[in-house]
């Protein structure tokens, strides 16, 4: 795949994420997909494909719509694509989950094999609650 094909696949995957469309996300990713989310929030950690896709619904439990992404810089080389995006998810209580993301995606055989998500954990905690620290 070339950079443009990686970009098309990545945007389709992220837009499916924004709709909670895990079937499309599954189709666009490898069976051994791993997704890492930076520390400091309830979604943090390295997630295998099944648990990651199963957890997507928690993002929309109190949402009043879809997560709309506005793409900024996109660059890629070899099997990697980096995307900077801003997201907006309206919540049922009138607030908006507005965050900035940096996604680093790794491709294999035309599908996403690994994702790394860098974002504002403090804002995630404001909207979705802090991580459970009970031992």
The total number of structural domains in the chain stands at 1
DSSP 50-88: HHHHHHHHHHTTTBSS--EEEEEEEEEETTEEEEEEEEE
Considering the domain boundaries, does residue 134 fall inside one?
A: no
Determine, yes or no, domain membership for 114. Answer: yes
Band of the pLDDT at 132, cuts 50, 70, 90?
A: confident
The average pLDDT across 49-70 equals: 96
pLDDT tens digits, 66-119:
999 999 999 999 999 999 999 999 999 999 999 999 999 999 999 999 999 999
Residue 135 maps to a domain: no
CATH number of the domain bearing residue 12: 3.10.450.50
The pLDDT > 90 percentage for the chain reads: 93
Percentages (nearest 5) of helix, strand, coil residues in the chain: 30, 45, 25
% pLDDT > 70, the chain:
98
Q: What are the distances in angstroms from CA 128 to CA 59, 87, 122?
A: 8, 15, 10
Residue 133: pLDDT over 80: no
Q: By C-alpha distance, which of 58, 120, 59 is closest to 85?
A: 120
Within-domain flag for 45:
yes
Q: What is the pLDDT averaged over residues 50-76?
A: 96
pTM reported for the whole predicted model: 0.94
State the chain's mean pLDDT as an integer: 95
- Note down the domain range covering 8: 3-128
Whether 133 is covered by a domain: the verdict is no
- Polymer length of the chain: 135
pLDDT band, very low/low/confident/very high, at 135 (cuts 50, 70, 90): very low
């Amino acid at each position: 795949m070339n950079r443009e094909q990686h970009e098309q696949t990545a945007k389709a995957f992220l837009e499916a994420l924004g709709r909670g469309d895990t079937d499309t996300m599954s189709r666009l990713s490898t069976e051994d997909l791993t997704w890492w989310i930076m520390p400091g929030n309830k979604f943090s950690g390295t997630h295998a494909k099944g648990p990651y896709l199963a957890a997507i619904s928690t993002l929309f439990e109190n949402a009043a719509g879809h997560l709309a992404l506005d793409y900024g810089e996109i660059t890629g080389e070899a099997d990697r694509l980096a995307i900077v995006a801003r997201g907006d998810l309206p919540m049922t209580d009138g607030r908006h989950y507005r965050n900035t993301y940096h996604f680093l995606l790794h491709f294999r055989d035309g599908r996403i094999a690994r994702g790394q998500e860098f974002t504002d954990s403090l804002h995630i905690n404001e909207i979705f609650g802090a991580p459970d620290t009970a031992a």
